[in-house]
Structure 1
């Protein structure tokens, strides 16, 4: 059996919807080498395939930015498991505010008791769904109050409803009435403050809570404790590592070894020898100490005896001192880095958990291993290899556990990891080659929102065709490099090339609004922007896609020899030139993302594409009566008379600058020929890389003056439109 999902309602930041967390089934974790030996195959491809990871298939990831509710989920599970009562701070704030509003409306202007008023008292609700996987072996005695024969026949999930509510609801409402009416007498316009209601909720003399359980038919189940069904091991986030933390964890492991039957007699024999040595050593002191005491006490003083009294607990409490070995030297643990200590501490806790794991317990219990924010103190590379290193450690422990029948020792538990590390997300996705079993948390309407991710969700038709399967594979592979930042960003901007990436990073840094947010810029080309579309829609963060309109031109419009089918063919004559586009009528785009999102390649009356949290911008308007096909062309047209732009072009194309730059006789300043912008774009692509051009732009901006934005080149209008939309989106969130 395993925990399939957990729903939190009105608990802390969780509201009444989008609040169900899903968990992966607990796969059997066995020693790889022994399992491979037991399942030998002649299939050469299987022998040479990559080993299946141990941890990833059994691990659920709960990810999101800070303060989105990741730790709240594990705290709720632990609270239920330990049967702890709630306090006012456990109730969702908006939920309490709404309740207070109903109390004020009911009581403020009604001094007499009104028994017809039906008011809700504060409550917190949880729902656990448990799935049986092996109906022949799973023991359901701990679940029997929640199971019907119909559930077993249909193999449905077993629902456990847990409610925290107020024991004496009438007494609580009377106290609320008195509180509100006392306030109303002082000031008719004054509402009962939320703080007063919270104080009442925390007053143990006036407000008492109860934890009750109900089955799926809303029938109350008595004498049930969740701790009998679910066993939780929690490895807390080590924000403050204690001194000698590794000595403590490995002491627990060694103590476990000493407590087994094999070492019991040896241990007791050793204790007897130690106590015998101590007793014989102090025996001769008994008489001398007694004589001294007679001098200061009554004559009838009793003789004393000193003897050895070392117990097993005395030794086990200070059994281990952990040191690192480096060559021939042993270095104290406090001389090593916190990240390494934290990693070894987590692995040590897991090793101890495996050694104390009751065999076959998964048939009658649900075993949960909670690991909270393991990335503390770890550098990025260590975070990246986190799951792989745990894999290796678990494999080695299982290998060392000897069983009488020589079968492989196994561990079957659900592993739940909360994290805000993009590197651990990378490790998880690449180890399991899947987006499955990831719960992404964000905040919507002031409440934590759970968005379960899985592969089928990230393709339009469940990766039903070959192209969508390839796009999903691309997304999984590309996530290793940067895409996992998406899960922790306030907003994201997709751009096509190096020019946009360099310039936007600078402008974001100096924008008074946008610099306050964590905005990730992803450099992709127009062909692959659409691959990220399903993922971005699920994450619900503002996404600005800046792409090029990529106007389709014939070869002769690119100053090349054209073919006979060209529409510009006039009696076999194809005038070659770098064609400036002054109208989009009848024009088409070659941009794959635009074609898919627009549903057409036609550019007549084209507009920006906006859908929910996504805006796609491109050069839909003419600049100086010309339509730019790329950012480089757009920024040249926007700044055609800016002297910095003239200098950049003069440096980039020194041999051709006289063809593209002219002197304005009115203001006597140089300016770029606007009707040659497409040719300039073409020459830049052929003679210098776009990155070099972008670097020259950035160098000019950075050295233009003391004020970062003084005399700075102007961004094209379509990019400014996109940034303004992004500001509105972030302000609204």
Structure 2
């Protein structure tokens, strides 16, 4: 028995989105990933609001598209202003249906699904009646502040989805509290208030507090396991009673003299809970005799320790309460932890939770390190497009897209695991061709930002959430992935002209085609079209993907370069010639003369090491000009790269 579908409507960032799980078997772990403000927290909080009795909905829990309508509730009926949570529970004949049976309404043996609908709606009539007495100019504020008092929570069982909208009388109403006999919901929120070395108050030591809670629950659930502790406390009581008799003897004599009472006595009444709460603390062992208090531990360590204690505490709740379905939500476990610890957490979490019966765990994260270590089948990707959240099954949807390109899909999975899990959280992506571009692109971006910083509302590229990928000719493998993420993507590549019968490398003016697999893939190379390459040179072929754009060398200053190095040398030739003695990665420097006949041939004959060449160019640009009298070296950005930066920044 397990939850196979979760659908949320009209709650905060989520207008209407469904998270689908395997209907045939329980998915033990689901990873909720996505960029900021993509609805991950909203997805978790809607469970809090329906499953926790003390958590009530408020005005700002309604999706933004409903709020203006709610303001007009005194003049309009707003039946659509309902927050909804839909759960589908799949079960088999082998399951223990003791707790589920009261929710089963379809006795057809072929149907093995129970559908539950939680709703939060406004008591419109009562609110309208009260609004009559509110001054018109205060109505909006009254609704915002007081709507919680007019909200009603309901739970229904239903068979058909269309009945929710059209035949609500067919729904079977249940008490909302009835769900607690079937589902045990627990959550560990991201806000954990961990104590740092600056924290002085004992109340700000959540790890010690949680250890106390853990002890008390253990004591409550398993008293026989605490006999030794409780016996020790009773023995302490007896010893303290004897000490108290001696210590307070003089005081009691005065009491007898004044009041004539002999019935006073001070008794020790120690309780394990009080001792644990007031007289115990969590420390880290630094050596055999040295201990670090909680407040002096690193926040990363504290966070992991806190999570482990919380999970173990939740585990005991799950086991003791013995529900058919256990739900555990963990929000952003990576808080305060360095990458290595995030790797460890992602590897260990399944082992930690695997012994909890009937458990389905949902973890939301912004950590690329956690994502890289998970099974891709477990990922559900949250995407907010123009205020509408979509929840995508990462593995199944991409597997379908790559069904005719299985090798590319295999490459993609391994590449993301090893290098680029940041793609899940990127606002934009830039693909670069090789090592030279990788070294110099940040310099070009810095210059671009500097040139455009005076423009109104300009956001520097260097401050944007951009993932950079060095994929070479393999950029084509990412096409379906980029469209899945719906992320703006720039591919910087080389035109790689070839000519002759053997299609060998040549200058662009002699070329008849491109050997670049990325260009040929995205721009639909047609070997039967003699004009294709001429159109390519003039950027006359448009890419069809709305999220992806391709930039390569175009004619500049009367010359059309074939590669990045070729292009860079052609636009910076005078400066390179002047400083050639300080530039590494070159050979045949004598060829750098006054009038090169062909930059393509020159580049081919002088480049010895692309990485050394690019590194020395960057070094000269960064260090020259600091001292008085030094010449400031500023390399020009090739036109195609500048135009690419203009596009990615739009």
2:397 matched to which residue of 1?
457
Match of 2:56 among 85, 106, 110: 85
| Cα shift at 1:220 | 4.3
Match of 2:313 among 337, 347, 352: 352
| Cα shift at 1:199 | 3.1
Match of 1:551 among 478, 490, 497: 497
2:11 matched to which residue of 1?
11
Spell out, residue by residue over 1:553-578, the C-alpha distance to the aligned partner (whole angstroms, 9 max, x if none).
348896xxxxxxxxxxxxxxxxxxx8
Distance 2:519 2:369 in 1: 32
1:203 matched to which residue of 2?
146
| Cα shift at 1:588 | 1.8
Structure number, greater radius of gyration? 1
| Cα shift at 1:516 | 3.3
Matched, 1:153 2:86: no
Matched, 1:500 2:415: no
Distance 2:288 2:316 in 1: 30
Structure 1 residues 621-640: aligned runs within 5 Å = 621-640=554-573
| Cα shift at 1:249 | 3.5
Q: Secondary structure at the match of 2:377?
A: coil
1:581 matched to which residue of 2?
508
2:487 matched to which residue of 1?
541
| Cα shift at 1:631 | 1.4
Structure 1 residues 266-415: aligned runs within 5 Å = 266=228, 269-283=231-245, 288-297=250-259, 301=261, 303-318=263-278, 320-334=280-294, 335-358=296-319, 361=322, 364-390=323-349, 411-415=357-361
1:573 matched to which residue of 2?
none
Q: Secondary structure at the match of 1:10?
A: strand
Distance 2:587 2:52 in 1: 78
Match of 2:638 among 713, 716, 728: 716
Matched, 1:697 2:617: yes
Q: Secondary structure at the match of 2:254?
A: helix
Contact 1:22 1:437 in 2 (8 A): no
Q: Secondary structure at the match of 2:481?
A: helix
Q: Secondary structure at the match of 2:193?
A: coil
1:616 matched to which residue of 2?
550
Q: Secondary structure at the match of 1:358?
A: helix
2:89 matched to which residue of 1?
130
| Cα shift at 1:159 | 2.3
2:525 matched to which residue of 1?
600
Spell out, residue by residue over 1:79-100, the C-alpha distance to the aligned partner (whole angstroms, 9 max, x if none).
1111332111212223313554
1:139 matched to which residue of 2?
97
| Cα shift at 1:647 | 3.6
The answer for unaligned runs of 5 or more in structure 1 is 29-56, 108-116, 184-194, 399-409, 559-577, 664-672, 729-733
Q: Secondary structure at the match of 2:514?
A: coil
Spell out, residue by residue over 1:613-663, the C-alpha distance to the aligned partner (whole angstroms, 9 max, x if none).
1112223x33344432211122233444x4346645994687644545325
Distance 1:383 1:87 in 2: 35
Contact 1:548 1:591 in 2 (8 A): yes
1:284 to 1:632, Cα distance in 2 relative to 1, 3 A? closer
Distance 1:643 1:269 in 2: 86
Distance 1:196 1:275 in 2: 62
| Cα shift at 1:388 | 2.5
| Cα shift at 1:307 | 2.6
1:476 matched to which residue of 2?
413
Distance 2:82 2:644 in 1: 44
Match of 2:593 among 661, 671, 677: 661
Distance 2:255 2:145 in 1: 57
Distance 1:639 1:516 in 2: 27
Matched, 1:524 2:471: yes
1:128 to 1:718, Cα distance in 2 relative to 1, 3 A? same
Contact 2:3 2:89 in 1 (8 A): yes
1:688 to 1:173, Cα distance in 2 relative to 1, 3 A? farther
Distance 1:120 1:257 in 2: 48
Matched, 1:163 2:106: no
Match of 1:229 among 182, 188, 192: 182
Q: Secondary structure at the match of 2:364?
A: strand
1:485 matched to which residue of 2?
422
1:130 to 1:506, Cα distance in 2 relative to 1, 3 A? farther
Distance 1:360 1:86 in 2: 27
Contact 2:20 2:393 in 1 (8 A): no
2:456 matched to which residue of 1?
none
TM-score by length of structure 2 reads 0.82
Contact 1:15 1:95 in 2 (8 A): no
Distance 1:715 1:371 in 2: 46
1:312 to 1:717, Cα distance in 2 relative to 1, 3 A? closer
Contact 1:636 1:645 in 2 (8 A): no
1:711 to 1:278, Cα distance in 2 relative to 1, 3 A? closer
2:18 matched to which residue of 1?
20
Segment drifting more, 268-277 vs 65-74: 268-277
| Cα shift at 1:360 | 9.8
Aligned length: 606
1:63 to 1:604, Cα distance in 2 relative to 1, 3 A? same
Contact 2:572 2:636 in 1 (8 A): yes
Distance 1:482 1:496 in 2: 16
Contact 1:451 1:538 in 2 (8 A): no
TM-score by length of structure 1 reads 0.74
Distance 1:323 1:366 in 2: 36
Match of 1:241 among 194, 205, 208: 194
1:172 matched to which residue of 2?
127
Q: Secondary structure at the match of 1:163?
A: strand
Distance 1:653 1:202 in 2: 68
Contact 1:238 1:376 in 2 (8 A): no
1:589 to 1:238, Cα distance in 2 relative to 1, 3 A? same
Distance 1:176 1:437 in 2: 48
Distance 2:230 2:314 in 1: 25
Contact 1:85 1:210 in 2 (8 A): no
Let me know the Cα RMSD of the aligned residues: 3.5
Q: Secondary structure at the match of 1:125?
A: strand
Contact 2:381 2:391 in 1 (8 A): yes
